[in-house]
A and B are shown apart, each in its own frame.
Chain A
Amino acid sequence: MRDEAELRLQADVLVIGGGPAGAWAAWNAARAGARVVLAEKGYLGSSGATAPGGTNLLYLPPDAALREAAVQQRMEGGGQLSEARWIHRVLDQVYESLQLVEAWGYPFRRDEHGVPLRDHLQGPEYLKLMRKAVHRAGVRILDQSPALELLVDEHGVGGARGLSRLDGRRWEVRAGAVVIATGGCAFLSKGLGCNVLTGEGLLMAAETGAELSGMEFSRAYAPSAAFGTNTRGRTLGWASYYDQHGKVLHAGGPRSRDFLAKALLQGPVYAVLDKADTPEKRAILRRAHAIFFLPLERAGIDPFTQPFPLTLRYEGTLRGTGGLRLTSDDCATSVPGLYAAGDAATRERVCGGLSGGGAYNASWAICSGSWAGHGAALHALDAPRERRLRPAGGAGLRPVQGSAPIDSAALVAAVQSQVLPLEINYFRSEAGLRQALGAVDALWPEAGGLPDTRTPQAALRAREAAAMVAASRWIFNAALGRKETRASHTLAEYPELDPAQRHRLIVSGLERIALRTEPVPA
């Protein structure tokens, strides 16, 4: 591989990431008249957390009372860190956008009165349609083309560089504005579709000075079969739970939020979907969450009658609510020319501190993507033509002189040993988090070592490893900065909500991480 770019493109807007948020950003930027390039690590259509399975949406018909009730419920659940105006914006925008999805050919089911039920999407179908729409809008799509670093000058961000995983070719796209839509960081924990979500977008943005917000809320874990990867928990609403001796741990019905995490610390936990007690109920569940049943049946297990072992997989910032801090209604970040959408952006303005999973994130991806794409297109119209751009990438890409080779596999394992364990990151204590932060801080110099660039896969993995180290440091710093229990964040030493801490926590920086508070807008 050579350092010189072999593919050079000029665009108005570069979108980095081809999940739903990136697709909506690209489509909206193109509709606003921009020349758009979309670069995706995998493939626009198959890549990311949404593609393989089903996803719920926050979607309500335009009924003022219904919407106001949903807004109030979320304000409460999110620890009073969300903003009613932003939740209403999402409800308005997603209603419009899903009508488009239907017009593009998505076959939403209707109820007995013919009312379309647009609160759930099957990923493969949804993203196939999005790819088609983006392509028709004239966007140039670069598949298998991860971005590695941003280009910056005194005007802000003006493009990015990356490589093709298929042939190692380096690419460079210069653009008046860039949208980061790279998803959250799930630390290669093998949640469904999540191993492409390794945080490079956050790292690239931070290298240009972008701030992050809400990283302390990265505390979500999702259940899957212990041997599998299908983190879809909804079907477990029809489960009973047992230990390895067949003793009932939970006989069905509502469970406390901590139930599975606590039970798994005691030993193996098994579930049986025995509350789906008729062939009709089973058929309905199969057609709802088909991918939940796939690994079980391939392993020879009938989940309605036979117990299957469960685990919890860490979802990092993906189902947490933190990400790049947004400074405007069109999802600008704190760096000029840089926009953020989907799980790469903080979802606090809508979700507050409670998991954005289950509907909120999917609708947020559509809305933030639409706004960021439009905002980036407008910014690009005014962007200066003459740029003196330089690459901004550091750790995992450009080694500190004289440093040792990066052992990416060892680095990833070392980060995972701190962020994945329930004992550290779910049952959080100040003492435990301090120790974990010390461990991941010590990894940062290693991440700045000499990357193996012999294959595109190795070069990318070194950058991913560096991004995961950075993300873990932001998470632990923020978690230690919130000395209370609020929404999804807990600290054993501070089990109560502290009204004086009703603020956002902003982290920034790489060598030294700065932490500050920001008031929640009224």
Chain B
Amino acid sequence: MIELVSTSRCTECGLCVRVCPTNVFDDHDGLPVIARQHDCQTCYICEVYCPVDALYVAPYGDQAVTVDEDALAADGTLGSWRAAIGWGRKRVTLAALDTTPFIDRILPSQPALPAEEIAFILAAPAKEPAEA
């Protein structure tokens, strides 16, 4: 569930209040506050949308836990999911790196793949296709 809105990082853009599918945040004079934590469905999408990595969703779906913002910032956890999705400047999107169409090639029943095939599957695209 959502556990943290970092007030030091938050720029009060209001995006998390708008995008949360289950309406967990309230807007208090611009600042998002976690008003209905137990409605959080732990889908992590708020982290993807937050442009300044001010949100942290803990992995526990039913149980609230205490979190330490400094520790989450220090080990790079804050913002890690947005980085994995590849949103933000100069990042490659997960969509462009997606290996799903290839995973049947590494099923446990399959023989080991040649190195060049693995390299092809894991290759980053030369450039992001321009958005139409």
Residues in A with CB closer than 8 Å to B48 are 46, 124
Tell me if B13 is interfacial: C-beta within 8 Å of chain A.
Answer: no
For residues 16 through 55 of chain B, which have their beta carbon under 8 Å from a beta carbon of chain A? 17-23, 27, 36, 39, 41-46, 48-49
B108 touches A253 (CB 8 A): yes
Tell me if B95 is interfacial: C-beta within 8 Å of chain A.
Answer: yes
Segment at the interface with B among A83-91, A289-297, A317-325, A425-433: A289-297
Min CB distance A467 to B, Å, is 16
Tell whether A237 pairs with B85 under 8 Å between CB atoms, given A283-B122, A295-B59: no
CA distance A87 to B121 in the complex (A): 31
Residues in B with CB closer than 8 Å to A284 are 99, 102-103, 106, 118, 121-122
CA distance A237 to B100 in the complex (A): 13
Bitwise, A163-174 to B at CB < 8 A (1) or not (0) is 001100000000
Bitwise, A216-247 to B at CB < 8 A (1) or not (0) is 00000000010111000010011000000000
* Nearest-neighbor residue (CB-CB) of A235 within chain B: B103
CA distance A285 to B81 in the complex (A): 16
Min CB distance A52 to B, Å, is 4
Residues in A with CB closer than 8 Å to B106 are 276, 280-281, 284-285
Contact among A46, A129, A253, A457 with B109 in the assembled complex (CB-CB below 8 Å): A253
Contact among A46, A107, A112, A165 with B125 in the assembled complex (CB-CB below 8 Å): A107
Contact among A196, A228, A252 with B60 in the assembled complex (CB-CB below 8 Å): A228
Residues in A with CB closer than 8 Å to B81 are 294
Point out which of A125, A276, A299 has the most chain B C-beta atoms below 10 A from its C-beta.
A125
Tell me if A117 is interfacial: C-beta within 8 Å of chain B.
Answer: yes
A122 touches B59 (CB 8 A): no
Contact among A237, A287, A296, A457 with B99 in the assembled complex (CB-CB below 8 Å): A287
Residues in B with CB closer than 8 Å to A296 are 59
CA distance A518 to B6 in the complex (A): 56
Residues in A with CB closer than 8 Å to B102 are 109, 284, 288
CA distance A5 to B36 in the complex (A): 26
CA distance A319 to B100 in the complex (A): 21
Residues in B with CB closer than 8 Å to A288 are 98-100, 102-103
Residues in A with CB closer than 8 Å to B132 are 103-105
Total interface residues on B, CB under 8 Å, equals: 56
Min CB distance B103 to A, Å, is 5
Residues in A with CB closer than 8 Å to B70 are none
Point out which of A46, A103, A111, A112 has the most chain B C-beta atoms below 10 A from its C-beta.
A46
B108 touches A252 (CB 8 A): yes
B18 touches A298 (CB 8 A): no
For residues 93 through 132 of chain B, which have their beta carbon under 8 Å from a beta carbon of chain A? 93-103, 106-109, 112-113, 118, 120-122, 125, 128-132
Contact among A47, A111, A125, A143 with B95 in the assembled complex (CB-CB below 8 Å): A125
Min CB distance A282 to B, Å, is 10
CA distance A47 to B45 in the complex (A): 9
B100 touches A190 (CB 8 A): no
Contact among B23, B41, B99 with A193 in the assembled complex (CB-CB below 8 Å): B41
Residues in B with CB closer than 8 Å to A107 are 93, 95-96, 125, 128-129
A124 touches B85 (CB 8 A): yes
Tell me if B10 is interfacial: C-beta within 8 Å of chain A.
Answer: no
Residues in B with CB closer than 8 Å to A117 are 101
* Nearest-neighbor residue (CB-CB) of A129 within chain B: B131
Min CB distance B45 to A, Å, is 4
Min CB distance B108 to A, Å, is 4
* Nearest-neighbor residue (CB-CB) of A313 within chain B: B61
Tell me if B4 is interfacial: C-beta within 8 Å of chain A.
Answer: no
For residues 100 through 134 of chain A, which have their beta carbon under 8 Å from a beta carbon of chain B? 103-107, 109, 111-112, 117, 119-122, 124-126, 129
CA distance A56 to B101 in the complex (A): 9
Contact among B45, B59, B129 with A46 in the assembled complex (CB-CB below 8 Å): B45
Tell me if B7 is interfacial: C-beta within 8 Å of chain A.
Answer: no
A46 touches B41 (CB 8 A): no
Residues in B with CB closer than 8 Å to A97 are none
Residues in A with CB closer than 8 Å to B101 are 109, 111, 117, 119-120
CA distance A119 to B103 in the complex (A): 12
Min CB distance B56 to A, Å, is 9
A124 touches B87 (CB 8 A): yes
A227 touches B63 (CB 8 A): yes
CA distance A285 to B43 in the complex (A): 20
* Nearest-neighbor residue (CB-CB) of B57 within chain A: A298
Tell me if B77 is interfacial: C-beta within 8 Å of chain A.
Answer: yes
Residues in B with CB closer than 8 Å to A56 are 100
A122 touches B95 (CB 8 A): yes
CA distance A195 to B42 in the complex (A): 10
Min CB distance B30 to A, Å, is 14
A237 touches B131 (CB 8 A): no
CA distance A284 to B87 in the complex (A): 20
Residues in B with CB closer than 8 Å to A46 are 19-21, 45-46, 48-49
Min CB distance B76 to A, Å, is 12
6 contacts between A and B (CB under 8 A): A42-B22, A46-B20, A47-B21, A120-B100, A238-B108, A285-B99
What 7 new A-B contacts, CB under 8 Å, besides A109-B98, A193-B43, A227-B62? A41-B21, A46-B49, A105-B130, A122-B98, A166-B27, A237-B108, A288-B99
Chain B residues engaging chain A, CB cutoff 8 angstroms: 17-23, 27, 36, 39, 41-46, 48-49, 58-63, 77, 81, 84-85, 87, 93-103, 106-109, 112-113, 118, 120-122, 125, 128-132
Shortest beta-carbon contacts, A-B, top 7 = A295-B59, A42-B21, A105-B131, A117-B101, A195-B41, A125-B95, A107-B96
